[in-house]
Amino acid sequence: MPAIQFCPACGGPIQELIPVGDNRKRPVCSACARVHYQNPNVVVGCVAYYQEGYLLCRRAIEPRSGFWTIPAGYLELNESTEEGALREAHEESGAHLEIRSLLAVYNLPHLSQVQLLYLAEMTTPALMPGEESLEAEIFAWQDIPWSELAFPTVFWALHHARLMRTNKTLSPDLASEKLLRPAPTNPLEA
Ligand SMILES: [Zn+2]
């Protein structure tokens, strides 16, 4: 079944077929003939730090409600990835940040998702969790709730952030293949 069943433009029924000059099936409106291309989602976010602490938010929404995550969300139209990362952090935690570098690019083709994560420094420790967060907190490294992280990407991004802070020449983390295995719950296993 096509991902959409009715044309967003005219309401006509959608068929999956290969448009002329194309090479894969697309949702095409059988009434107005518009092709409704579908492309991966871009998620932007950041590992934010204040002095030796790392910012995490406890999710108030599914999926993984109640678990801890870094601020991240879908890039909006007409927004740069940096703007999106700062916006998400402010919406979810109230934090004010300055981006220091690109931290990671994670490809999740099974979800049709690309994540661009930044390393960012909090300009003040003040936090005000938004509606999508139950709480927001700055954790010392040893106090991070490793067994209650929402997603494997959070684990890998935190570890890469810690390495990058001590080695400013380190490249962003591009090792998406490790996302396919579960993150260790013990940070010493990473
Ligand atoms: Zn249509």
Ligand 1 mean position to 23 CA, how many Å?
A: 21
| 142-184 pLDDT, tens digit each | 999 999 999 999 999 999 999 999 998 999 999 887 776 666 6
- Which of 175, 149, 181, 140 shows the shortest CA–CA distance to 160? 175
Higher pLDDT, 188 or 1: 1
Q: What global pTM score does this model have? A: 0.88
Residues 3 and 58 in one domain: no
Q: Exposed e or buried b for every residue in 88-101, given b needs 16+ CB within 10 A?
A: bbebbbbbbbebbe
pLDDT of residue 178: 76
**How do residues 109-118 score in pLDDT, each as one tens digit?**
989 999 999 9
Enclosing domain of residue 110: 41-178
Whether residues 82 and 115 fall in one domain:
yes
CA angle 65, 119, 115 (to 5 degrees): 55
Count of structural domains within the chain: 2
Residues with CB under 5 A from ligand 1 (ion): 7, 9-10, 12, 29, 31-32
**pLDDT recorded at residue 82:** 98
Question: Is residue 33 located within the same domain as residue 48?
Answer: no
99 φ/ψ angles, rounded to the nearest 5 degrees? -75, 135
